[in-house]
């Protein structure tokens, strides 16, 4: 039987070293010290999807006023391709319902290396198949552009409230001067190279 379990700080530290550091590129990784600081403030949750003692997948979420940001969701390398990501996401949705979940999914870009856009599109499709809907804006966070999605699908007025809640999460953690330099919620539309 597969179950979602909360992770203690020691388990989170090990997860970060052994999985997060391998599963996410440096530009997309929040420092472990930041995650632990948010946990001490009581606004960051770490979950593991287990079968017996075997960790299959994990989800890390940052809770704010009116939403929870799915900061990381990944399946452990040996468990990939077996539906555990979908299962973990369904269990996470059950844990947080009726609170809306936000997902930052790296946006396809013209300048991305070959094959990278196909991977980014697969990730977007994964979330959309799980019931997440586009919020109609992108965010640029520390130089990385993300498409923003939410679950459940946003009703009237909710996209604006979720965008404000998303911005407030980062404003609560990032110093104002740095926030103005590296956080764009919403981001301006990407510029395209002119072909003369």
**pLDDT, tens digit (0-9, with 9 covering 90-100), for 110-162:** 888 878 898 999 999 999 999 999 999 999 999 999 999 999 976 778 899 99
Count of other CB atoms within 10 angstroms of residue 97: 11
**pLDDT, tens digit (0-9, with 9 covering 90-100), for 73-87:** 999 999 999 999 999
pLDDT at 154: 67
**What is the number of alpha carbons within 13 Å of residue 14 lying toward its C-beta?**
8
Please tell me whether the overall predicted TM-score, pTM, comes out greater than 0.85 for this model: yes
pLDDT at 192: 59
pLDDT at 111: 86
More confident of the two residues 14 and 195: 14
Domains recognised in the chain with CATH numbers = 1-99 (3.40.630.30), 101-188 (no CATH)
pLDDT at 194: 46
pLDDT at 112: 85
The answer on pLDDT for 68 being more than 50 is yes
Query: In angstroms, rounded to a whole number, what is the distance separating the alpha carbons of residues 53 and 38?
Result: 27
pLDDT at 2: 96
Residue 65, Ramachandran bin (φ over 0: left; ψ between -120 and 50: alpha; else beta): beta
pLDDT at 115: 87
pLDDT at 153: 77
More confident of the two residues 47 and 117: 47
Query: In angstroms, rounded to a whole number, what is the distance separating the alpha carbons of residues 191 and 77?
Result: 35
Q: What is the DSSP letter of 115?
A: T
The answer on pLDDT for 180 being more than 90 is yes
Query: In angstroms, rounded to a whole number, what is the distance separating the alpha carbons of residues 135 and 158?
Result: 9
pLDDT at 114: 76
The answer on pLDDT for 196 being more than 80 is no
**pLDDT, tens digit (0-9, with 9 covering 90-100), for 85-115:** 999 999 999 999 999 999 999 999 988 887 8
């Amino acid at each position: 039987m597969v179950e979602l379990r909360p992770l203690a700080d020691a388990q989170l530290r090990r997860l970060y070293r052994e999985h997060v550091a391998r599963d996410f590129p440096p530009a997309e990784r929040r420092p472990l010290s930041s995650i632990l600081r948010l946990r001490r403030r009581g606004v960051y949750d770490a979950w593991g999807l287990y079968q017996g003692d075997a960790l299959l997948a994990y989800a890390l979420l940052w809770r704010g006023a009116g939403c929870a940001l799915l900061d990381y969701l990944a399946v452990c390398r040996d468990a990939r391709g077996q539906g555990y990501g979908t299962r973990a996401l369904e269990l996470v949705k059950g844990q947080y319902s009726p609170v809306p979940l936000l997902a930052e999914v790296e946006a396809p870009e013209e300048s991305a290396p070959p094959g990278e856009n196909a991977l980014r599109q697969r990730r977007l499709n994964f979330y959309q198949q799980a019931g997440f809907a586009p919020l109609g804006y992108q965010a640029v966070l520390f130089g990385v552009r993300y498409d923003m999605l939410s679950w459940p699908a946003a009703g009237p007025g909710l996209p604006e409230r979720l965008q404000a809640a998303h911005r407030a999460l980062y404003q609560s953690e990032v110093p104002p001067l740095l926030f103005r330099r590296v956080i764009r919620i919403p981001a301006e539309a990407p510029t395209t190279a002119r072909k003369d």
